[in-house]
Structure 1
Amino acid sequence: MSAASDQEHELQDEPEEYHWPIPPAGGWTADDLDRIPGLPPHTELIDGGLVFMSPQTRFHSRTMRLLDNVLLEQAPDHLDVDREMTVKLDSRNRPEPDIVVFSTKAVTGPNQTWYAPEDIVLAVEVVSPDSLTRDREVKPRKYAQAGVPYFWRVEQDGSTGLPVVHTFELDPAIKAYSPTGVFHDRLKTSRPFDIDIDLTAVDRRRA
């Protein structure tokens, strides 16, 4: 094989360079999120900017699994539960809560990629090291302004490694959340429906 052929073969074997999307004037819109090619999984839109997810930790994955399974088991028939589905808050914001509890009337079909905020009953964010500010400040503020009635923020206990759940309820008069509890080991509440979660089961194969 000639040197030219060798060089051509090597070039064919090299992975194609990825070109990051260039935002339009004014930033991306919520609808753009379904049209931009080659985005990494679980890309969010915050204030017109794309936010990419870092690699998921075992704590994050296990916590989502626990909450997803138990909430799905305990939710009343008119509500359903999904992991990592975006919520189109407005034209410039389409975050992706880790868990959403939503009205079954919001389902339009298997290719659906987002829900409207008025269909969301509870949004849950499991905090990661790279999302501290977004999960503690930015996202809850936006969920509240959009009228999502309940919000949970889940943190990892530094001494036990177990999830700690901070629960919030919307004050519609000021469109801001009020804290309603901090739960270690066990989360038991009647809002938005009767919920009882053994948080120590996060590492068990069956809760």
Structure 2
Amino acid sequence: MARVPAPTWTRAEFEALPEDLPVRVSLVHGELVPRPRPRPIHQRVARRLATRIEDAAPAAWQVDTDVDVLLDDDETEPVEMAPDIVVYSTDHDPYERPIPADLVTLVVEVVSPSTKRKDRRAHPELYAEAGIRHFWRVETDQLAPAFAIYTYEIDDATGRYVATGVHHDRISVTSPFGLDIELKPVRDH
């Protein structure tokens, strides 16, 4: 049986969707992609990490969770997604959505069982194509030793992310700005 193609959505149609939809959605190449509601532990890790990043961020950057980022404004295949954590320029008005990708320096995805394939493969590819310089992936396996933050930065030669570190107990980086965060309070229940 032939697959019926999904209707293509424009950015205007996507932006017109009500904020109180019963399901969260992203717009990927013009298609609505439902996103499962996260578990409380997922939200807790994202909130705690976002708070620590915000505390360390210079005044030129603002930090929010689960906000829309415009990755590709293509007329027929736009891409707009809401990473778990977004660090973006204070040049963007926080009352406006979406945030243009060129104002974002870091996105963070907290991996959940239902989103692991997308968080590990598909989403980083879309973020790199949009030119977002830094990407972090937080693995939240129920066993504390498995908790890790994988950091990536765009390689200017390839336009793809290259690994810059794996952090278990502490994340200490100088880019996109200086951060030194103990991870035990982020990961512990």
**TM-score by shorter chain over 0.5:** yes
Distance 2:124 2:187 in 1: 27
1:131 matched residue in structure 2: 115
2:30 matched residue in structure 1: 48
Distance 1:46 1:193 in 2: 29
Deviation readout 1:24-50 (Å, 9 max, x if unpaired): 3xx112332221346335421122221
Cα distance, 1:160 vs. partner? 1.7
1:104 matched residue in structure 2: 90
Distance 1:119 1:82 in 2: 13
Counterpart amino acid of 1:46? V
1:81 matched residue in structure 2: 63
Counterpart amino acid of 2:11? A
Counterpart amino acid of 2:9? W
Which range is displaced more, 177-186 or 41-50?
41-50
CA RMSD after TM alignment: 2.1
Identical amino acids, percent of aligned pairs: 36
Distance 1:165 1:114 in 2: 26
1:198 matched residue in structure 2: 182
Distance 1:41 1:102, change over 3 A: farther
Distance 2:56 2:22 in 1: 32
**TM-score, normalising length: structure 2:** 0.87
What secondary structure sits across from 1:141 in the alignment? helix
What secondary structure sits across from 2:165 in the alignment? strand
Question: Structure 2 matches for 1:1-207, cutoff 5 A?
Answer: 24=7, 27-37=8-18, 39-40=21-22, 42-91=24-73, 92-107=78-93, 110=95, 112-160=96-144, 163-202=147-186
What secondary structure sits across from 2:144 in the alignment? coil
Cα distance, 1:101 vs. partner? 0.5
Distance 2:50 2:24 in 1: 17
What secondary structure sits across from 1:106 in the alignment? coil
Which range is displaced more, 35-44 or 187-196?
35-44
Distance 2:52 2:97 in 1: 23
Point out the structure with the larger helix share: 1
Is the Cα contact below 8 Å between 1:121 and 1:149 reproduced in 2? yes
Is the Cα contact below 8 Å between 1:63 and 1:163 reproduced in 2? no
Distance 1:61 1:77, change over 3 A: same
Is the Cα contact below 8 Å between 1:154 and 1:164 reproduced in 2? yes
Distance 1:127 1:31 in 2: 29
What secondary structure sits across from 2:81 in the alignment? coil
Distance 1:163 1:40, change over 3 A: farther
Counterpart amino acid of 2:173? T
Distance 1:160 1:96, change over 3 A: same
Cα distance, 1:197 vs. partner? 1.4
Aligned length: 180
Deviation readout 1:104-125 (Å, 9 max, x if unpaired): 0022x52x12111100000100
Which range is displaced more, 181-190 or 194-203?
194-203
Counterpart amino acid of 2:103? D
Point out the structure with the larger strand share: 2
